[in-house]
């Protein structure tokens, strides 16, 4: 499994399409957004991660949301923390971790 992270609109999906031979069905894009939706429906991080890991995805793509100003809203802070902790778990299980900045991928694991 491969994790690709980076800021919003930095070319993560395009990087994956050009770098790896994987079909769109095997790419889990917008990890951070889907985790938020899952929380809004009462789910928790461990349950969300189990579903992601058990679906046979080859690549997981997520925005980095932990940089910048800390949100005032308590729920937004909690979601941001949970995404960070979730991505740490994903990174542990992945064979490769890439950070994409300005469309350029840098392998960090």
Residue 62 structural domain: 2-107
Instruction: Retrieve residue 46's tokens.
Output: 């461990």
Domains identified in the chain, total number: 1
Q: What is the CATH number of the domain that holds 86?
A: 3.40.50.300
Residue 97 confidence (pLDDT) above 90: yes
pLDDT, the chain, mean: 94
Kindly report whether the global pTM for this prediction surpasses the value 0.85.
yes
Rounded percentage of the chain residues whose pLDDT exceeds 90: 78
Query: With 90 as the cut, is the pLDDT of residue 59 above it?
Result: yes
Residue 38 vs residues 15, 26, 34, 47, 56: alpha-carbon distances, Å? 26, 20, 6, 9, 19
Judged against a pLDDT cut of 90, whether residue 62 lies above it is answered with: yes
């Amino acid at each position: 499994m491969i994790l690709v992270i980076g800021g919003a609109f930095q070319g993560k999906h395009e990087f994956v399409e050009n770098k790896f031979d994987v079909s769109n069905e095997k790419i889990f894009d917008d990890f951070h957004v889907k985790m938020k939706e899952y929380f809004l429906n009462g789910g928790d991080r461990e349950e969300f991660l189990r579903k992601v890991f058990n679906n046979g995805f080859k690549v997981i793509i997520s925005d980095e949301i932990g940089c910048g100003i800390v949100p005032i809203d308590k729920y937004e802070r909690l979601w941001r923390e949970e995404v960070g902790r979730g991505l740490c778990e994903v990174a542990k299980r992945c064979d490769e971790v890439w950070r994409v900045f300005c469309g350029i991928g840098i392998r960090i694991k």
